[in-house]
Amino acid sequence: MASDGPMTEEDLQARRDEALEIAEEASAADPSSAPWGLEAYGDAPGGIGGGVGGFLWFETREAMLDFCARLLTFYNPGPRSKDHGDVAARAAEVVAAVASGAQTMDDAMERLNDVLRGFSQLRWWGEYSDLLHGSGEFQQDVRAWARASDYDDAEGADRSPIRAEEEPTFREALTEWGF
């Protein structure tokens, strides 16, 4: 899927506004009722806002994939030298492969991050239950961070699955991720 040429400044701003509006709602959503999520950060130098990540939560897998396909390119401003429409079209192709079942979410995340280099990067996407119980390094890091008294203590913190009695505290901690 190729773009129809460079986006106008007006179209670019409209997509950015839509991405930010949806992201604002998704960042405030409760993962116990909106169980499909992602953690994304701006792929720019830290001095200009890059590297700070946050969780976004969606009610369905389809809604999360739609955001990634249509708007993740615009969530964090990318380099002006790149054709944002072309990047968005290539991101949509990767996400379509996930939606159709032709590619796993894990495999596609690497491809999507390659396409979105300089824009947004995903560290994780999936179901909330995976964050609670998954064996991946990121999931374990998040659990350790949530259990630590401060970020610097996370290295030695418990990385095991979140127990039912810990889940409300864990969910609350996720709202502070990236700050």
pLDDT band for 7, please (50, 70, 90 cuts): confident
Contact 102, 93 (CB under 8 A): no
Judge if 15 and 45 occupy the same domain: yes
Q: Is residue 4 in a domain?
A: no
Q: Is residue 110 helix, strand or coil?
A: helix
Q: Is residue 1 in a domain?
A: no
Residue type, 19: A
State which residues form the domain around 172. Answer: 134-179
Judge if 124 and 143 occupy the same domain: no
pLDDT band for 153, please (50, 70, 90 cuts): low
Judge if 99 and 149 occupy the same domain: no
Judge if 71 and 120 occupy the same domain: yes
Q: Is residue 117 in a domain?
A: yes
Asked if residue 47 has pLDDT above 80, the reply is no
Q: Is residue 2 in a domain?
A: no
Judge if 48 and 76 occupy the same domain: yes
Contact 52, 41 (CB under 8 A): yes
Contact 154, 148 (CB under 8 A): yes
pLDDT of residue 52: 72
Token duo for residue 4: 């129809």
Number of neighbouring beta carbons within 10 Å of residue 19:
19
Q: Is residue 3 in a domain?
A: no
Judge if 68 and 145 occupy the same domain: no
pLDDT band for 80, please (50, 70, 90 cuts): confident
Q: Name the domain count of the chain.
A: 2
Judge if 101 and 29 occupy the same domain: yes
Judge if 78 and 149 occupy the same domain: no
Tell me the whole-structure pTM to 2 decimals.
Answer: 0.90
